[in-house]
Structure 1
Amino acid sequence: YKVAVYHKCSAAHDRAARVESANSVRRLPDGSWYADNFDGVGFIDALKANGHQIAGRRILQVGAGGAGASLAYCLAEAGADEIRLTDIDTVRAGKLAALVGRAFPKCRIQVGEAEPSGMHMAINATPVGMHAGDPLPLDVSRLTPDMTVVDIIMEPAETALLRAAKGIGCRVQPGRPMMDFQVRAMSEFFDIEGKDRGHG
C-alpha cells in the first residue's frame, strides 16, 4: 500500500515524492497528511554506521522495485560514482535509471547484468533469498574478496548470498541494520520522545 498511501497525502518529503511511495505518514496541524519514505535512509545510515563507503564507489544493485527505487536514489545522493542496475523487469529498471540519472547527473547509472565485475559493492534489493531453494540473485562467481555484499532481506538473517560472499572473503552486511536505522528515523519523524510537542 505504499504507493496508494503516498497518493492520499497532500505533501511529502522529496525522497518520498521521487519514488511516489510512503512508508510513514503523519497528520499536520491543518488536518492534511504528510508522507515520507525511510527505506533508503535506513539503508544508507546502516552502511555508514558499519564503516562502508559509498561516495566514489561503483555499485551493483539487483532490484528496481519499491525498496530498490528508494535505495538507488539514496546511493546516488550519497555520492556513488556508478550504479549498475538490474531487474527482471528491464523496462522498470530502465525508467528508474533514467530518473535517478536526471536527479543526480554526477552518478553514472545504467541497466546491466546481475554480475559484480568491476564493482566495489553488490546489493540484493529483491526478495530472492527469503526461501530455501531460491536461486542466488547475482553471479557470485564474479565476486572478489575486496568487495562488499549487502542483502536487505532480514529473514533469514544470513542469506545464501551472504554465506557465499563470506566464503569468498567479502565484507557483508545483512538486512536487519537497515530496519534498525529506519525505525530510528521514523521515531524522529513521529516525534516519539515528544521533543517538538507543546506541554501544559
Structure 2
Amino acid sequence: MAQDRGRCRSADPPWGFWRSSRAFPLAPNAKRGLARVRLRKLDFIGINLTVPHKIAAFSQIDEANESATRASAVNTIRLRDKKLIGSNTDGEGFLRAIRTEFSVDVRDLRVLILGAGGGTGHAIAWQCALENCERLVLVNRTLEKANALAERLRPFFAGPRVLGPVARLEAVAWDEAALRAQLGDVDLIVNATPVGMSPSDPTPIPARLLAPHHMVFDAVYSPSKTSLLRAADEAGARGANGLSMLLHQGALAFQIWFDREAPIEAMRRAL
C-alpha cells in the first residue's frame, strides 16, 4: 500500500489535504534490487508493507529507525530525498490494539506469541519486552529462531516480578506437549502468523488447549473470524482479530509520513 500525491475522491478529507492510497501486489520472489530502484522513482510519500515482505525489505532500505532495527523488519517506509527510510509500527500498533480490545496493558500480562520468528512476531515480542510484561513465551516452528530472539530479549527479563519459580522468558517448540505445559501460566495468546487467512486453515494451536481465562489475539484481520477465534469462542475465552492493530499501526504510519496526528476516527470508519 502506498500513499501518493494525487487527489483522492473524498469531498472533505479529514486531514485537510488531498492524498490517495494504492495497492501494489509484489511477488515474494520479485527482484528486490529492481523494486527498490523503481520505488525511488515513484512520486510517493510512503509505503506500507505486509507479509511476506517485512523481513526482506529491511535489507533494502537506506536507513532504519530503532523500531525497525529491533525487529529486523520493516512495515512502513517513508520516501525522503530519494531515500527509503524504514520503520516498524507493528509493536506499538499491537500495544494499542490490546488496550482497545481487552482494556488491559501488556505490561500486566503473561504473553505467548505463536510465530515469534517472523517480522510481526519479532515486533510484538520486542514491544512486550519494552513494556516489561509479566512473562513472555516465544513459540516458533524453527526453535533456533525463537531461542535467538529470547537471547536478545533476556536483559529485559532479568529482574523478578511476582511469578515465583516460573521463568519470565522462555522459547519453546511448537508442539502440543510444549504448549500445554505453558498455557496454564499465560493470559494472552497471540497468533503472529498468516495461519487463518484462508478459511480452510486449521487453528495454529489445538483448540482443546484454550481455556476461559485466556485472551486470544489473532493478528489476521481477514477473515474477521478465523478458526482460532472460533475456537476461542467455543472455549469461553475472549478473542479479537487484527483489525484494531491494522488501524493503529496505520495511524502511526500516517504520523511518520505526514508529521501530524492521524484522523483515527475517519480511518476507523473506512475499515
Q: How would you bin the TM-score normalised by the shorter chain?
A: 0.7 to 0.9
Query: Which of 136, 140, 151 lines up with 1:83 in the alignment?
Result: 136
Offset at residue 139 of structure 1 (A):
2.9
Query: Which of 16, 34, 47 lines up with 2:98 in the alignment?
Result: 47
Offset at residue 79 of structure 1 (A):
2.4
Residue 96, structure 1, aligned to residue 126, structure 2: no
User: What is the Cα-based RMSD across aligned positions, in Å?
Assistant: 2.3
Amino acid across the alignment from 1:25: I
Query: Which of 212, 228, 239 lines up with 1:145 in the alignment?
Result: 212
1:110 match: 170
Amino acid across the alignment from 1:3: I
1:84-137 deviation per Cα after TM superposition (whole angstroms, max 9, x unaligned): 111111111111111122355459321123342221111111122222332221
With 72-81 and 109-118 compared, the bigger mean Cα shift is at 109-118
Q: TM-score normalized by structure 2?
A: 0.65
Contiguous gaps of at least 5 residues in structure 1: 196-200
Contiguous gaps of at least 5 residues in structure 2: 1-52, 161-167, 173-177, 263-271
Amino acid across the alignment from 2:243: R
Give the conservation status (yes or no) of the 8 Å contact 2:232–2:238. yes
CA gap 1:4/1:133 in 2 versus in 1, 3 angstroms = closer
Q: TM-score normalized by structure 1?
A: 0.86
Amino acid across the alignment from 2:88: N
CA gap 1:3/1:157 in 2 versus in 1, 3 angstroms = same
Residue 58, structure 1, aligned to residue 125, structure 2: no
Residue 136, structure 1, aligned to residue 189, structure 2: no
Give the conservation status (yes or no) of the 8 Å contact 2:197–2:220. yes
Give the conservation status (yes or no) of the 8 Å contact 2:221–2:243. yes
Identity %: 28
Offset at residue 4 of structure 1 (A):
4.0
Offset at residue 53 of structure 1 (A):
2.9
1:198 match: none
Amino acid across the alignment from 1:2: K
Amino acid across the alignment from 1:176: L
With 13-22 and 139-148 compared, the bigger mean Cα shift is at 139-148
CA gap 1:106/1:71 in 2 versus in 1, 3 angstroms = farther
Q: How many residues align?
A: 194
